[in-house]
Chain A
Amino acid sequence: MRYWIKGRFTRGAILGLVIGEAFSIIFILFGSSTYLSFSNRVGLSTGLSEVALSLFLALFLVGLIQSGFNGSGLPVRASDVDYVFTSPVPPHEVFAAKVLLNSLTTVLFGFPPILVLYLRFSAYYHTSWIAAVLAGLVTLVFLVIGLLLSADITLSLGHGLGGRKKLWRNIFIVLIMVISLLPITLLIPGIPTGIALVTQVLPNGLAAAVSVGLVSGTRGGLTVLADLLLLFAWLVGVLVLGVRMSRGHFYDLLEVSAPGTGEKFDHPNQTSKLDPRGKSLWAIVRLKEKIMISRTREGRAQLISDVFLAGFMIIYALSGSFQSSPTSFLFILFIIGSFGSGTASRWIEKERLWILKSSPVSMRRYVKEVYRARAAPLLLYLTPIVIAVGVPLILAGLSQPALLLGVILALPGALEIASITMAGGMFFASKYGQSSTDDILSSQAQELADIRRFLFQTIINLVMVSPVILLVFVSETLVVTLGPGYLPILALGLISVSIVFTGLSINFLLNKAGDAVSRREDL
């Protein structure tokens, strides 16, 4: 474990973690404030907070269960396979070390943003900071339980477990998933609210009940003690189960992560969809991108990002914060976009660039067509959401022309920022993205290089989108200075300027991306 920790916690990794934690904390502060504003506005009680947290933790649990079934419950590297698994180390010791390392990593990274979240809640409910710390610790216990459960599921994939036991395992897991997600049915009118209490036999329900109860001051004494005992019973149970199952050989069940191992595909045989007949070269390029995205995990990751973005926009609009500060909406969108532009930056496929660079194609044009293929689905998805969110906001803001212009500009501004950050992501992948040489850098140098690139990307993306945000920012002043009568002309003019600026920025970034790829020799 000492060497694994040494390999993982390099200076570069720590710096990256600090930056990542800072971003997470900023995001959690905004998110929790928005949520509390929303619940205050619609007059919801702490019961909803408990249900919401329980659902949030349930999603985390479901993700871990899925990882477990994929064989990723115990993350393993290729070097572990070559050196640890071939050494005379008992398997259950390897299991214990892996689980301890994962738990340590999760606790270390998870605690700061979780603590910030509960401190925010305790400030809202006027409870002590000690309650927030205790609530954070309880949530961390839940996270460790989730990791252990995932590891146990992976171990159970082996042949040692008979057919009957596997059936019971599947029934058990399905029950956990169904019960933990049951509160979603509360969205259906008429469903009794008591249904949410069922989740309090599961780790996510227990953790949510205890944590929210502590920070809101609505739960204490014997109730909390009983819940904690049940939570620790879960912890001990999954731990003991894992140790027992790990006594046998389990290495062949594990999914190995190694650079350059390529994507995983569910089905090796597919129907070929790239029929070039009658299509232009560029149509084929776009089609190729779409096929690649649909067949890899990128499609799923893209969908999750899109759903997340849409959810954020809807909640932010409903919370009432949008109308009072559309600028902060765009700024948060930019932060989300900076993380999400990782999807765009995956276009680079450096190992396959030899095919393009040895072919008579224009790299500038190629990059633009790839952008079209990747950006179009996101924009097509977001546009109706923006319209659906925007129309009520505009109608509600008709009586306040000074604020209305900001709202009107922020709506297409959201799409513009998404488009620019995607193009920015592609440019940065081209100019600074991991080269073939990076694969042989020491891990520390590579991490430092990645952090530097991420910071560059974020700063330059911010510079590129700042005119869009600035327009929204000054809109109120413009309306006040010129008068509400100028609102329609201002709206039309500024939207046009904003769109033209966005188009020019995207063209500039993608041209630079194409040139960078053409010139780079280390890819």
Chain B
Amino acid sequence: MVEISVENLTKHYDKLVALDNVSLKVGSGEVFGLLGPNGAGKSTLLKILVGILRPTSGTIRLGEYDILADQEKAKKLIGYLPENPSLYTGLTTLEFLQFVGKIRGVADDLLDREISESLKSFQLEDKRNSLVGSLSKGMKQKVALIATSLHNPQVLVLDEPLTALDPKTRVSVKDWIDGQTKRGVTTILSTHDLDVAQTHAGRIGIIDHGKIVAIGDVDSLRKMANTASDARLEDVFLRLTEEKGEEPIRH
């Protein structure tokens, strides 16, 4: 069980401030939903969390490890699923999973078993020897999900895992997320799907223009947004992220 701690995280790209003094804590075994408009800084935050980007300032700790100072140890704990993951299209499904398992340090005997069970649970057994490049988008997403959890990570970082998936695949992915959270894996889930956030996340953080504008469970967020106690999360989100002096756009 691993806790995530982000303190005073800032990320600049020349004059652009992508993240502005972001702080949050995700408890051990918690599922934390991260919401925000396009370009708010969600993916930047997640990429810094998993060590792909470096912060301009601030610290990130995964359990006892600092992501900058103890990179290799911290990365062993993480399973990361990016938005639109790009896979090795020239490898077969099996080869791709074997490769990822190996670079993430999974023992040989365990790797075979994990891959077989995962392919079975995602109904991809007949695709083991198919080139990843020949798979449909939904199948690729499933393969990417399997790759994310092969090494039984203690922290999951999922960036928009449901984007552009058909309904059947969305159900598979949601079931997978449920399974992981039941194992007690600490999860940060970035999504535009407010239903998923509401259903799966214990707490939700809303980020806008690189700043955290609100953190809490749904009821707390309703209070912060001064909305009704049964207001939809969508309305809460719109209220909290509206431009100052402007009315939120409603259709």
Interface residues of A (CB under 8 A from B): 262-263, 265, 267-278, 281, 284-285, 288, 291-292, 295-296, 349, 351-352, 354-362, 519, 521
Contacts and interface: CB of A to CB of B under 8 A. Distances in A.
A356 B86 CA distance: 12
A270 B92 contact: yes
Interface string B193-235: 0000000000000000000000000000000000000000000
B133 A262 contact: yes
Given A352-B87, A358-B80, A360-B72, A270 B100 contact: no
Interface in B36-78: 50-54, 71-73, 75-76, 78
A7 B56 CA distance: 38
A265 B134 contact: yes
B133 to A, nearest CB: 5
Question: Which 6 A/B pairs are nearest by Cβ-Cβ distance?
Answer: A268-B134, A351-B86, A274-B95, A360-B72, A360-B75, A272-B94
Given A355-B100, A360-B71, A361-B103, A521 B53 contact: yes
A359 B151 CA distance: 11
Contacts of B80: 354, 358
B174 interface: no
A284 B104 CA distance: 12
B82 A354 contact: yes
B248 interface: no
Contact of B91 (A269, A274, A276): A274
A284 B102 contact: yes
B75 A358 contact: yes
Interface string B96-133: 00111111110010011000000000000000111101
A292 B129 contact: no
B52 A358 contact: yes
Contacts of A273: 95
Contact of B90 (A265, A271, A361): A265
A271 B129 contact: yes
Interface of B: 50-54, 71-73, 75-76, 78, 80, 82, 85-92, 94-95, 98-105, 108, 111-112, 128-131, 133-134, 147
Contacts, number: 108
Contacts of A355: 88, 100, 103, 147
B90 A292 contact: yes
B51 A291 contact: no
Contacts of A352: 86-88
Nearest to B88: A352
A356 B82 CA distance: 13
Contacts of B131: 265, 267-270, 295
Given A262-B89, A281-B102, A268 B52 contact: no
Contact of B108 (A277, A291, A357, A359): A277
Contact of B103 (A268, A275, A281, A521): A281
A274 B105 contact: no
A125 to B, nearest CB: 49
Contacts of B50: 357-358
Given A358-B80, A360-B72, A292 B98 contact: no
Contacts of B99: 274, 276, 284, 288
Contacts of A262: 89, 133
Given A274-B94, A360-B72, 19 more contacts: A263-B133, A265-B89, A265-B90, A268-B133, A269-B131, A269-B134, A270-B131, A272-B94, A272-B129, A273-B95, A277-B112, A295-B131, A354-B82, A355-B103, A358-B50, A358-B80, A360-B71, A360-B73, A361-B103
Nearest to A351: B86
A276 B87 CA distance: 19
Contacts of B87: 352
Given A262-B89, A354-B82, A358-B80, A272 B134 contact: no
Contacts of A296: 90
Contact of A275 (B54, B72, B78, B98): B98
Contacts of B54: 519, 521
Contacts of B105: 360
Nearest to B77: A360
Given A354-B80, A521-B53, A272 B90 contact: no
18 contacts: A270-B92, A270-B129, A270-B130, A272-B92, A272-B128, A274-B91, A275-B98, A284-B98, A284-B103, A291-B91, A295-B131, A349-B88, A355-B88, A357-B50, A358-B78, A358-B80, A359-B103, A360-B105
B82 to A, nearest CB: 5
A430 to B, nearest CB: 15
A269 B130 contact: yes
B88 to A, nearest CB: 6
Contacts of A357: 50-52
Given A276-B108, A356-B103, A269 B129 contact: yes
A194 to B, nearest CB: 48
B208 to A, nearest CB: 22
A281 B82 CA distance: 23
Contacts of A519: 54
B86 A354 contact: yes
Contact of A354 (B52, B73, B94): B52
A360 B52 CA distance: 11
Given A359-B75, A360-B104, A274 B98 contact: yes
B3 to A, nearest CB: 19
Contacts of B101: 276
A271 B71 CA distance: 35
B235 to A, nearest CB: 33
A402 B114 CA distance: 66
Contacts of B100: 355, 359
